[in-house]
Amino acid sequence: MATAGKVIKCRAAVAWEPNAPLMMEEIEVAPPQEGEIRIKVVATGVCHTDLYHLFEGKDKRGFPTVLGHEGAGVVESVGPGVTDFKPGDKVIPLFLSQCGECKFCKCPKTNMCDCSCNYHDIMSDPTTRFTCRGQPILQFMGTSTFSEYTVINQIAVAKIVDDAPLDRVCLLGCGIATGYGAAVNTAGVTPGSVCAVFGLGAVGLAAVMGCKNAGASHIFAVDINEQIFEKAKIFGATDFLNPKAYNKPISEVLSEMTSGGVDFSLECVGNTEVMRTALESCIKGWGVSVLVGWTDVKDFSAKPIQLISGKTWKGSLFGGFKSKDSVPNLVCDYMTGKIKLDEFITHKMSLEQVNDAINLMKTGDCIRCILNISK
Ligand code: NAD
Ligand code: ZN
């Protein structure tokens, strides 16, 4: 491509500081270096983790940055040493890498790759490929999909089939893979089991879909926003509970309705009280509760008897999927109808409307908004 090896000037939404609207800017995107890939971003979802960094992060560390980690695009050029990707390949950036070399990648029990820019705001070398107004701009989660172009290490990019619709499969870069995998991988939901999913945003709805595909017989959908229950039905929820509608803890309600508690519960809110409730809602002896919701500012607590009685409390990052291996398969699962994606999309906007999309995410009306970045 004519742009290979050159700096690309393009549009991006820059988060200059916490708690402020993103600014549309022209940024410079440097060519990819050893092992890196420059990607033309076609579409991206907006996820609550983007909002979390913008509004609830602990300090000004991690700014200025370009947010966005649920994108899909096309390879524009590759750096030296990249052999598995070529210009024109369709790809999904991964906030969780899979280097294939570290002890975690080599272990089938986990997806916690040790070797990448996981949770760092910059490329792994460690510099950023973005500048704006003469200043380096960080790359949030190593992905930065709120930009027309981004540069990512090849260990954090998944190559997908050529006919995949990028404005939908982008959702597999975070929320949907996360919730779905939390049910099928981390919880290990079994056929005929009784499940409860707390929080029915995109992540929770995907967890419901995972419970359903794993053969659960009952799936309790728990949310304080009852408007979402109709949607949850589409993904396979069978029973619906609003904790605010009861004058006793919802764990007690669930325990009574299920003769002692559910086999599997998944917390998809990011609230430590709900995490505790989800654990308490499990049946003693074998109940498994999975933390999916994100918070790093609060500790959680629970009575030790909850675990002594034989329950298991687990957490799940990116649904336990080894990212590079699994995302291409999930794309195929969507193409063959095994998993739904279209039903999560409630809004579509342009990159310029990103602040509207962020505001919309704060209301209960939006499950996922797709930003069309470029054609
Ligand atoms: P979301 O805000 O769209 O959905 C949260 C849902 O929880 C909403 O429907 C809300 O009404 C409901 N809710 C709020 N308080 C509740 C309560 N007390 N009881 C029951 N329901 C309640 O969020 P999302 O995009 O679906 O993400 C969910 C969480 O998952 C976030 O914390 C996000 O940061 C996290 N996340 C984790 C990972 C991971 O790898 N572990 C990846 C992506 C996102
Ligand atoms: Zn996300």
Name the DSSP letter for residue 30. P
Ligand 1 touching residue 269 (CB < 6 A): yes
Looking at the CA of residue 273, tell me the nearest atom of ligand 1: 18
pLDDT for 273 equals 97
pLDDT for 58 equals 61
Distance 47 CA to ligand 2 centre (A): 5
Rounded average pLDDT per 10-residue block, the chain, 375 residues: 92 95 98 96 95 78 92 98 97 95 95 69 67 94 95 95 98 97 98 98 97 98 96 98 98 98 97 98 98 88 97 97 97 98 97 96 90 91
Residue nearest to atom 7 of ligand 1 (CA): 199
Strand arrangement of the beta sheet that strand 23-29 belongs to: 8-14, 23-29, 130-132, 135-139, 65-66
* 235 sits in which H/E element: helix 229-235
Token pair 């986990």: residue = 110
pLDDT for 120 equals 47
pLDDT for 62 equals 85
Per DSSP bridges, beta strands 194-198 and 218-222 are: parallel
- How far apart CA 149 and CA 7 sit, in angstroms, is 11
3-state secondary structure of 264: strand
Ligand 1 touching residue 48 (CB < 6 A): yes
* DSSP secondary structure, 108-174, as one string: TT----SSS-TT-SS-SSS--SEEETTEEEEEGGGT--SBSEEEEEGGGEEE--TT--HHHHGGGGT
pLDDT for 171 equals 98
Looking at the CA of residue 49, tell me the nearest atom of ligand 1: 34
268, 296, 314, 321: residue to mutate for ligand 1 pocket, most atoms within 8 A of CB: 268
Structure tokens given for 272: 């430590």
Which neighbouring-strand residues pair with 50? Answer: none
Looking at the CA of residue 96, tell me the nearest atom of ligand 1: 40
Ligand 1 touching residue 173 (CB < 6 A): no
Ligand closest in space to the Cα of 174: 2
Distance 23 CA to ligand 2 centre (A): 21
pLDDT for 39 equals 98
3-state secondary structure of 209: helix
Please name which of 91, 63, 88 lies closest in space to residue 152, comparing C-alpha atoms. Answer: 91
Structure tokens given for 279: 């654990």
Structure tokens given for 226: 């009852």
Length of the chain: 375
Structure tokens given for 40: 């033309």
Ligand 1 touching residue 53 (CB < 6 A): no
C-alpha distance across the termini of the chain, in Å: 16
